[in-house]
Amino acid sequence: MTPLVLALVAGAVIGLALGALGGGGSVLAVPALIYLLGFTPSAATTAGLIIVTATSATALYAHARDGNLAWRTGALFAAAGIAPAYLTGAGAARLPEPVLTAAFAAIAALAALRMLRPSPAALPAWIRPAKAAGAGAGLGTVTGLLGVGGGFLAVPALVNVLGLRMRQAVGTSLLVITVNSLAALIARTGTGGDLRWEVIAPFTGAAILGAWDGKRLAAKLSGDTVQKIFAGVLLTVAGFMLLDVIA
C-alpha cells in the first residue's frame, strides 16, 4: 500500500481507539508511524502528539455534548499535569531509545492489568483534590517523557483511583489527553526531526473521522466490554514493544 493509504487506514484505527476507549491513540500512532510509514522515532513522537492532540479535542467535544465528562476532575488532572508534561518533554530526548521503549511497554502493561480489575459501581460522593492532582502530575510526567497522550493511564486512574464510571472516565480522559499532549508538543517544538506533513495531515483527518465513529461504538458497548477491549489493546502493544527491545 502507498504511504497515503497506510496513513488513512492507521489514522482511522487510532481515531476509533480514542473515540471509543478514551486513550490508546498515541500508543498505536507512534509504532504505526515508525514501522509502517518510515518515520524516525523522534519525528514519530512529535507527529503522534500532533495527531492525538487534534483527534482528542474532536472526540472531547462529542463526549462533552452527551454529558460524559466530569469537568472538575478532568480540570484537576489536566492542570496538575501541564508543568510535568512540559519539563519531562523537554528532557526526554536525552534518554536512550531502548530505555524509553522498555519503560513505555512496562507502563502500558501495568495499566492494562489494572483495567482488568473490577471498577467501582458508582461515583464517589466527592473528589479529593490532592488525590486527583497527584495522579494528574504523574500522568503529565509520563506524557512528556514518553511522548504519548496518556489516555491509557488516565482511564485506569479515573476509574480505579477516583471511582468514575467507565464511560464518564473515557470522556474525561480526553480533556486530560488534549491538555497534556499540547504541553508536551510545545516542549518538543524544534526537536521533532523531519515532519512529513503530506502523511501527518491525512493521518490526522482520518483519525478525527474515526473518533466520531468510535464515540458511537462506545455508546453501544457496556462499560465492562470497553474495559476488556482497552486492556487487550494495551497488552498487545506492550508485548510488541518488548519484543522489539529484545530483538
Q: Helical H runs in 66-165?
A: 71-91, 97-115, 129-146, 151-156
Would you say residue 31 has pLDDT above 70?
yes
| Confidence category of residue 27, pLDDT binned at 50, 70, 90 | confident
Would you say residue 197 has pLDDT above 70?
yes
The pLDDT tens digits for 33-87 are 888 898 877 788 788 888 888 888 888 888 888 888 888 888 888 888 899 888 8
pTM attached to this predicted model? 0.76
Rounded to whole angstroms, the Cα distance separating 91 from 6 reads: 31
Instruction: Kindly tell me the burial class for residue 1, based on how many C-beta atoms sit within 10 Å of its own C-beta (0-12, 13-18, 19 or more).
Output: exposed
- Give the residue from 133, 136, 177 showing the smallest Cα distance to 26: 177
What is the arithmetic mean of pLDDT over 175-201?
A: 82
Would you say residue 156 has pLDDT above 90?
no
Rounded to whole angstroms, the Cα distance separating 16 from 196 reads: 23
Cβ proximity of 45 and 242 under 8 Å: no
Which percentage of the chain shows pLDDT scores above 90? Answer: 6
The pLDDT tens digits for 9-19 are 988 888 887 77
- pLDDT attached to residue 23: 64
Rounded to whole angstroms, the Cα distance separating 74 from 157 reads: 11
| 226 HSE (CA, 13 A, CB side) | 31
